[in-house]
């Protein structure tokens, strides 16, 4: 069982109460934990887009996707791989800064093309956008400066080219 392989599922569902609960139940019944879940209204207000990231056996995940497609509120459910989609994640980091490390902190922010969104005498809040590996790498590099808080959006995906997600 390849439980370390991450899977990304994109869904289009009717924008109705209870849909999220029914989707989560499909994963729970199969013993899958959801690592990341992003839900937002789509460009049409009657529908929402869900992006779900989980780990587990590919064969079991195939069954989950088939079950998700059968849900009455689902209009689309597909697993995507990085080659087929553009993937991004947004993270906000509140870092402790002291005069001795201030320059180094800002150099790391610059290398990762981070954006400073708030600054005080003792903290800086940085926005980092990119794939999950980039966000993980930034977290690893700034950890020794002192991460006060971190908030991650979860993965967002859109199909490459003319194909619809």
Integer Cα distance of 76 and 65 in angstroms: 10
- For residue 147, being part of any structural domain is answered with yes
Based on the structure, what is the number of domains in the chain?
2
Domain-embedded: residue 58 = yes
Q: Is residue 165 part of a domain?
A: no
The pLDDT value recorded for residue 1 is: 43
Asked if residue 164 is part of any domain, the answer here is no
Domain boundary residue, one of 54, 80, 106: 80
70: Cβ contacts below 8 Å, ≥ 6 apart = none
Would the CA dihedral through 56, 84, 131, 22 be positive or negative? negative
Residue 60 near residue 32, CB atoms below 8 Å: yes
Q: Which of 93, 150, 77 is nearest to 127 (CA)?
A: 93
Q: Domain limits at 138?
A: 86-157
162 in any annotated domain: no
* Residue 90 included in any domain: yes
Q: What percent of the chain has pLDDT over 70?
A: 98
Cα–Cα distance between 66 and 26 in angstroms, integer?
10
Looking at residue 110, which CATH number applies to its domain? Answer: 3.30.70.1150
Terminal alpha carbon distance of the chain: 28
Same domain, 68 and 96: no
Query: For 103-120, what is each residue's pLDDT tens digit?
Result: 999 999 999 999 999 999
What is the average pLDDT score of the chain?
92
The stretch 52-76 carries a mean pLDDT of 92
**Residue 63 lies inside a defined structural domain of this protein:** yes
Could you tell me the pTM of the whole model?
Answer: 0.82
Say whether both 12 and 56 belong to one domain. Answer: yes
Q: Return d(Cα 38, Cα 16) in angstroms, integer.
A: 16
CATH code, 70: 3.30.70.260
- Outline where DSSP puts E strands in the chain: 6-14, 34-41, 47-55, 74-80, 85-96, 115-119, 123-130, 147-152, 156-159
Q: What tens digit of pLDDT does each residue of 20-57 get?
A: 999 999 999 988 999 999 999 888 989 999 999 999 88
Cα dist. 122→95, 101, 102, 125 in Å?
Answer: 8, 11, 10, 10
Check whether residue 90 and residue 72 sit in a common domain.
Answer: no
């Amino acid at each position: 069982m390849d439980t370390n392989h991450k899977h990304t599922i994109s869904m289009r569902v009717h924008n109705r109460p209870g849909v999220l609960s029914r989707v989560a139940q499909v994963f729970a019944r199969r013993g899958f934990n959801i690592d990341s879940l992003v839900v937002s209204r789509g460009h049409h207000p009657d529908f929402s887009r869900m992006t779900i990231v989980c780990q587990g056996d590919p064969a079991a995940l195939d069954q989950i996707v088939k079950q998700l497609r059968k849900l009455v509120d689902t209009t689309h459910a597909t697993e995507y791989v990085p080659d087929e989609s553009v993937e991004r994640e947004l993270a906000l980091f509140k870092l402790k800064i002291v005069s001795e490390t201030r320059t180094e902190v800002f150099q790391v922010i610059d290398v990762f093309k981070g954006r400073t969104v708030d600054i005080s005498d003792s903290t800086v809040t940085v926005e980092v956008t990119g794939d999950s590996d980039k966000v993980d790498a930034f977290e690893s590099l700034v950890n020794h400066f002192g991460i006060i808080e971190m908030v991650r959006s979860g993965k967002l995906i859109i199909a490459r080219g003319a194909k619809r997600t």
